[in-house]
Amino acid sequence: MVSLRKGTALDAAGAYAICRSGDAITIAIAGPVKSGKTTLISSIHQGFLFSPVRELKFKRSHTMVGFEEKCFNSRVESGADTPSTPRTSYSAGVEYYHLRVKDSKTSSSPHLVLLDMSGEYFDRAINSRQDALHLQCLRAVDFVSFLLDGAKLADATTMQKVYSDATLLLRRLLEEKIISRDSRVQMLVTKVDMLCKEPKTSEVEKVVGEVARRFERFGDQLHLEFHAVAASPAVGRPFPQRFGIPDLLRIWTENEKKAATRPGPLLIRSSRLIDRLPAVWLRDKYALVGGEK
């Protein structure tokens, strides 16, 4: 008997089946409730429905039904007045969306595995160490894409809360060693159409630069990258659909591995002269325990 895939979002076992080949790039879409996580995921899928996204061609997906479920409310057939996406429930746990693309530039065919979690996980993690442990799955992913709600950033009454929540969450994840200096953490300003009048590079860069300044304090602890997207721009805004998504896909698929931060020098625990010599002559590689001379 052949068991066919349901095509819905994958669970942990489904993600394992893809990741174990070694060709997978895992991306965790993180952010508080209503920051645009589901919209981002569904727009990535929608982008491939019309044409290749730059050099990337759609190859296959194990979660076509799942993607379509997410997209439905944004379509005319849904009968809704404005495009929207259903909220991921807390009880669903971690869901994985799969997409395999063919990169005509490099001839590689990486699997993209997108982790979707309810925003409640992140809201709770800010306040509780115990809840932060539910985010352990972020430790192993290639990218943590943390969403900052552009609509809230555009509103003076909510802007400060977006920054403080993001700061608290990053701090919590650092404390729990879920992310580190070796993690690739992307700060994505979503709904950037609410912050810029036009999709001009200079305007978008100005906004991104302003956001980046708010996170300068993490400079020593994290390598943060900043990008802006407008997955589903509001009606009447001069932004194209899925603004910024192709750039994001390019960064993910290129996924240039960088060397992990080298640990400190090797500690020598010996009182003998010959064993201690490396610590004297090659100080960048060896050190004596306790720094004794």
Q: Which residues bind other proteins (CB under 8 A)?
A: 12-13, 15-17, 19-22, 26, 94, 96, 113, 115, 136-137, 139-141, 182, 257-260, 262-263, 266, 268-270, 272-275, 277-278, 280-282, 285-286
Q: Residue 136 or residue 160: which is nearer to other proteins going by CB?
A: 136
CB of 285 to other proteins, least distance (A): 7
Q: Cβ 171 to other proteins, closest distance in Å?
A: 22
Tokens of 244: 């910024």
**Shortest Å distance, C-beta 146 to other proteins:** 17
Phi-psi map region of 91: left, alpha, beta (phi>0 left; psi -120 to 50 alpha): alpha
Q: In which order are the strands placed within the sheet that holds 56-60?
A: 56-60, 95-103, 111-116, 24-30, 143-149, 185-190, 224-228
Residue pair 149/191 in contact (Cβ under 8 Å)? The answer is yes
> β-pairing, 143-149 with 185-190?
parallel
Closer of 4 and 156 to other proteins (Cβ):
4
Cβ nearer to other proteins, comparing 8 with 241: 8
* Residue among 227, 224, 210, 115 nearest 170 (CA): 224
Query: What's the closest the beta carbon of residue 289 comes to other proteins, in angstroms?
Result: 12
Per DSSP, the residues of 124-162 read: HHHH-HHHHGGGGGGGG-SEEEEEEEHHHHTSHHHHHHH
Kindly state the tokens that stand for 100.
Answer: 């395999």
Residue 80 or 140 having the CB closest to other proteins = 140
Cβ 190 to other proteins shortest distance, Å: 23
Name the token pair of 36: 């645009």
Name the residue nearer to other proteins (CB basis): 133 or 168: 133
Smaller CB separation from other proteins, 87 or 139: 139
Q: What gap in Å lies between CA 23 and CA 40, rounded to an integer?
A: 22
Least separation in angstroms between residue 266's CB and other proteins is 6
Question: Among residues 125 and 194, whose Cβ is nearest to other proteins?
Answer: 125
Q: 219-224, long-range: CB within 8 Å, 24+ apart, which pairs?
A: 221/174, 221/181, 222/170, 222/174, 222/179, 222/180, 222/181, 222/183, 222/185, 223/181, 223/183, 223/184, 223/185, 224/185, 224/186, 224/187
Q: How far is the CB of 270 from other proteins (least distance, A)?
A: 5
